[in-house]
């Protein structure tokens, strides 16, 4: 996760968090292959259908995998970029050593549980960005560092499945240090015997030294052929997923179809949805984001047109979106004052969340009470009232990419629902 380690590539890459122990030479980042899929993490691990990219291999399927950074259950509170599936990847030598450790533990009635393995560079960057955003620069160096053996695919974070290890994974304190507690010692002895080097400041972190290993920024995908829901003749699709119906934090990935095949056009980014999660039966004021497949009406914002192909409307202080179900103008952009035409409306001149936004074509029939003003807009770092929000620079790139000629859609919902469409 986050501790001073071995690799000195932050100077070249402006990276982030890491793990390790002794210094290494400056390394370079290998090219990023196109991502292929998203998938909700689980605590089980099956061998994927396709080979792993970048010289990595899959951890043996007999070893359970539960990647914490593919979920919101980690110190940042959100899935990290590049973690698109619960798939444990390592360099071949590291994967072989891990299987040796598992065999030894199973012989004594125990089992490993992998919490992190190969980590894309973009995820490491996100860790440091989180520290800056939370004003916790004190963590950078001692716990969150820009040197990561995980980026090389030669480090793994593991625990003993179902055992008390004495402290939580990713603890920013001395409680994370190896303290020779019985289960910590069992784990360490097995990993060292298999060829790993321990890291005293984090009882869960182990690594092997692989000459010539270079950092990778390859997204972790399911390895299966990408399957998107039926989206008609659309060749641009934005997919927003959360782990459950009530989850408020998930991921967004943009895909484009070329030569009959869907490809990710950018890495997965953190997305926030309504403060009550998703619903297929949204109603006004419920704090839920409507699950389903929708098009885009137009783009707008307080800032000037960023170069989108969508129709773009720059807002003024009198622009509103009517959210009064009793108004004949319900779910429409209007200009105030209301003069009795509506009792409530969303103010559109909001320089932070609506610096840039795209209006999602939800409830275009304007059925009273079924929900209004559903946008893809700039994130404020927390759940929305029903919209989807992502960080500003990514939103701008997506707005420039969206092309009405390709009939873009947004697919939204918990992963179980999206996969059933």
Residue 229 lies in a domain: no
Residue 85 structural domain: 10-207
Residue 317 lies in a domain: yes
Neighbour-count burial of 112, counting CB atoms closer than 10 A to its CB (0-12 exposed, 13-18 middle, 19+ buried): buried
- 158 or 255: which leads in pLDDT: 158
Q: What is the pLDDT of residue 37?
A: 29
Same domain, 65 and 155: yes
pLDDT at 32 over 60: no
Distance of alpha carbon 340 from alpha carbon 14, whole angstroms: 54
pLDDT at 48 over 60: no
Residue 221 lies in a domain: no
How many domains, in total, are found in the chain? 2
Q: What CATH number does the domain containing 192 carry?
A: 3.30.1380.10
Q: What is the pLDDT of residue 34?
A: 26
Distance of alpha carbon 341 from alpha carbon 324, whole angstroms: 9
Q: What is the pLDDT of residue 165?
A: 96
Helix (H) or strand (E) holding 58: strand 57-58
Q: Which residues of 270-306 are buried (b: 16+ CB within 10 A; e: fewer)?
A: bbbbbbbbbbeebebebbbbbbbbbbbbebbbbeeeb
Q: What is the pLDDT of residue 27?
A: 24
What does the mean pLDDT of the chain come to? 85
Residue 215 lies in a domain: no
Query: Which residue matches tokens 């950074």?
Result: 69
pLDDT at 150 over 50: yes
Residue 44 lies in a domain: yes
Phi, psi of 97 (to 5 degrees): -65, -40
Question: What are residue 146's DSSP bridge partners?
Answer: none
Same domain, 145 and 55: yes
Residue 62 lies in a domain: yes
Nearest Cα neighbor of 413 from 253, 291, 275 is: 291
Residue 228 lies in a domain: no
Same domain, 269 and 392: yes
Distance of alpha carbon 364 from alpha carbon 154, whole angstroms: 51
Q: Average pLDDT of 332-354?
A: 97
| Positions marked catalytic | 202
Q: pLDDT band for position 282 (50/70/90)?
A: very high
Same domain, 71 and 126: yes
Q: What is the pLDDT of residue 269?
A: 78
Q: Average pLDDT of 336-363?
A: 97
pLDDT at 30 over 50: no
CA angle 171, 176, 178 (to 5 degrees): 165
Same domain, 199 and 267: no
Same domain, 30 and 75: yes
pLDDT at 43 over 90: no
Same domain, 104 and 185: yes
Q: Average pLDDT of 92-96?
A: 92
Q: Average pLDDT of 193-200?
A: 96
């Amino acid at each position: 996760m986050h501790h001073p380690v071995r690799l000195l590539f932050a100077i070249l890459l402006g990276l982030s968090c890491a793990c390790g122990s002794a210094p290494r030479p400056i390394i370079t980042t290998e090219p990023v292959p196109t991502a292929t899929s998203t998938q909700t993490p689980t605590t089980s691990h099956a061998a994927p259908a396709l080979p792993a990219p970048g010289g990595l291999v899959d951890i043996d399927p007999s070893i359970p995998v539960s990647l914490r950074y593919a979920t919101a259950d980690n110190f940042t509170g959100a899935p990290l970029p590049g973690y698109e599936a619960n798939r444990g990847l390592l360099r071949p030598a590291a994967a072989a050593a891990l299987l040796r450790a598992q065999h030894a533990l199973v012989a004594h009635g125990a089992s490993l549980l992998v919490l992190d393995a190969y980590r894309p560079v973009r995820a490491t960057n996100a860790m440091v960005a989180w520290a800056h955003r939370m004003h916790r620069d004190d963590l950078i160096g001692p716990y969150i560092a820009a040197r990561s053996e995980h980026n090389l695919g030669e480090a793994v974070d593991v625990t003993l499945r179902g055992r008390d290890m004495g402290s939580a994974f990713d603890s920013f304190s001395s409680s994370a240090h190896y303290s020779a507690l019985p289960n910590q010692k069992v784990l360490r002895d097995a990993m060292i015997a298999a060829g790993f080097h321990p890291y005293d400041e984090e009882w869960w972190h182990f690594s092997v030294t692989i000459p010539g290993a270079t950092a990778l920024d390859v997204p972790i995908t399911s390895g299966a052929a990408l399957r998107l829901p039926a989206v008609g003749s659309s060749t641009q699709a934005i997919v927003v997923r959360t782990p459950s119906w009530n989850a408020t934090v998930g991921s967004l990935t943009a895909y484009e179809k070329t030569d009959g095949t869907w490809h990710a056009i950018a890495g997965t980014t953190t997305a926030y949805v309504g403060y009550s999660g998703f619903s297929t039966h949204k109603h006004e004021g419920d704090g839920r984001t409507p699950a389903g497949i929708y098009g885009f009406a137009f783009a707008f914002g307080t800032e000037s047109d960023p170069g989108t192909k969508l129709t773009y409307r720059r807002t003024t202080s009198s622009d509103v979106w009517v959210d009064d179900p009793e108004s004949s103008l319900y779910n429409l952009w209007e200009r105030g004052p209301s003069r009795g035409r509506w009792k409530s409306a969303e103010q559109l001149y909001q320089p932070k969340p609506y610096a840039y936004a795209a209006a999602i074509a939800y409830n275009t029939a304007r059925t009273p009470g079924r929900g209004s003003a559903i946008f893809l807009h700039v994130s404020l770092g927390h759940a929305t009232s029903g919209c989807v929000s992502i960080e500003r620079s990514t939103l701008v790139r997506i707005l420039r990419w969206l092309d009405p000629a390709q009939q873009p859609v947004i697919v939204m919902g918990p992963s179980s629902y999206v996969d059933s469409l």
